Every structure is written in C-alpha cells, then in structure tokens.
Amino acid sequence: MAVSTSDQLPSPPDRPFGERLREAMDAHGPLCAGIDPHAALLSAWGLPDDIEGLDAFSRICVEAFAGEVACVKPQSAFFERFGSAGVAILERTLADLREVGTLTLLDVKRGDIGSTMGGYAQAYLGATAPLRADAITVSPYLGYGSLRPVLDLAAEQGRGVFVLALTSNPEGASVQHARLGAESVAGSVVAGVTADNAEAARAGRLGSVGMVVGATIGSAVADLGLDLAAADAPLLAPGIGAQGATAEDLREVFGAALGNVLASSSRDVLGAGPDVASLRERARDVAADLRTTLSTGGDAP
C-alpha cells in the first residue's frame, strides 16, 4: 500500500472520533496495539537496528493489526530516532492503516503554547498532513488551556486527543497530585476533559477527548476525589498485561468508567512477532481477554 500523492483535499471523517472508537472497540475488543520499534525488540525479531529493520517491523505490524484491532498506536520517538527516513516510514504506516480503516493513535505527547501548539495540531491532525492520525497524545503541563489549538482542530476534523492525566511513572505523582487550593493538577485535567466532552455526553456518546490513566496507579483516583466516569472519555490505560495490573487494580482505578477503558499493549502483543500470523493471533487473544476483563471484572490477561 502506498501513500497517496493526490492533491485532492481529503474529506474529514464523517463521525466524531469517540463514536468511531466505540464502534471499533465493540467490534474488535478494547485493545490498542502498540507499534514500538525500539532496538531491543528489533533485535528480538532478528531485525537490524537500522532503517531496513524499521521498515520490515512496521510492515509486519500493519499486516498483522490492520482490520483486527480497535486501534493501533505507533510510538513516534522510535521512528524519529532514524531521522527523516524513519519519519517517512511512520507516514507510510499511518497511511496504510488509514487505507484499511483501522484507527490510529499517534503517541507524540506534544505540549506547547500559542502558534507553536497550532503548528503541532496541523502536523498531526490537519486535513492534508502526511502524519495525520485519528488521534494523538498530548501533555497538558503548560496548562489545560494551552491545548486549545489541538482540541479545536481535532473537533473540526473529527479526530481525537488523549491528554496525559494520571500516568504510572513514579515521577508523575509529584506534578499530577500537586494541589493549588482545593484542586489537584490531575483534577484540572479531568475537569477540562469533562467540559470538552459535555456535548457528546448529553447525546449519550463517548467523547473524543480522552485521557491517559495508568492501570497501576492504585488509589490515586479516589484519593484525589476524581470522577472519571463523568468525563465520558475514552481512557487509554497502559499497565494491563505485561505490567501486571489485576482485575482488582482495574476496578480500583477506573470504577464506573471501566467500560470506557482502551487498554494499551505493546510488549505483551509484540512478543509474538515477527511471524505475522502469530502476531495477529496474539492480538486477537489479548483483545478477547480484555473484553472479558473489562466487562465482567474477571482476571486481567
């Protein structure tokens, strides 16, 4: 599959990202499969840590995941480390997944202000951007309002945004749990997402502004007095699978919002490569296990 070179303006998606994501999760299970071509994984697959290895890795992942999972999440950094040639492969990877209708979440975690943030918005969400994805990750730690250029363009284009809210890295709590008066930093993020999803919530739809919430953060949501369910947000949840989150962990973190969880899995799925059939089968199995876990509270895969 090749990147289109047509000058015709592409049409934006005909429905909001949240609606399309819910449909994909219902059809394929709540799995977001990562494409993380770091050096150790390329080596494990018997591929060289160079542009040829990156190219082969990406093609295998696209062949295995396209049409099989709810969403695919390429990690931009592992493509960028190869310079312009790596970015070109990322462009092709996004285009190939777009061509078959599989949703993409580009993990870029951008965060800036003003016209610079507007530039990032155009780079990843613009109608003709070569790197356009269905959704991207962003960092709100210059203030939730600094995300407005991305949030507005995403809404205009029918795309999505996942805002870092409560991450599982040990350093995250020092910022995310900090309070200014009665409200925590994470609370301000949840409040902003809730407001941006209000129209979708009134219509009974999943919002298009999501949050990244680690599955292994324990009692943080309750301790900070946060209501994730009220945000009507898709919740990208690292930590399920290889990082060992249990069903009890999931209930503690997500509570009534458990049905909105989109579980991010990279190592757990990619370990089945490089054989395409094995990789595809592992993705299907993980997605099925996650569907059971997140709908019934059974044991996490």
- pLDDT, tens digit, 9 for 90 and up, residues 85-100: 999 999 999 999 999 9
- Do the two domains 29-107+266-293 and 111-261 of this chain adopt the same fold? yes
User: Which position among 38, 59, 109, 148 bears the catalytic label?
Assistant: 109
Contact indicator for 138, 164 with CB cutoff of 8 Å: yes
The yes-or-no answer on residue 109 being catalytic is: yes
Split at pLDDT 50, 70, 90, the class of 131 is very high
Residue 9: the pLDDT is 65
Angle between helices 114-125 and 148-157 (to 10 degrees): 30
Is residue 104's pLDDT more than 90? Answer: yes
Is residue 232's pLDDT more than 50? Answer: yes
Q: Delimit the domains of the chain by residue range.
A: 29-107+266-293, 111-261
Residue with tokens 């071509």: 37
Q: Any residues with CB less than 8 A from the CB of 58 and at least 6 apart, and which?
A: 35, 37, 74, 79, 89, 90, 92, 93
Take residue 259 and report the two structure tokens written for it. 């049905």
Angle between helices 247-254 and 276-296 (to 10 degrees): 60
What is the Cα–Cα distance from 153 to 157, expressed in whole angstroms?
6
Half-sphere exposure of 142 (CA within 13 A, CB side): 13
* Region 111-261: CATH code: 3.20.20.70
Question: At the topology level of CATH, where does 29-107+266-293 sit?
Answer: TIM Barrel (3.20.20)
pTM of the full structure? 0.93
Residue 161: the pLDDT is 98
pLDDT tens digit sequence for 153-186: 999 999 999 999 999 999 999 999 999 889 999 9
Residue 192: the pLDDT is 98
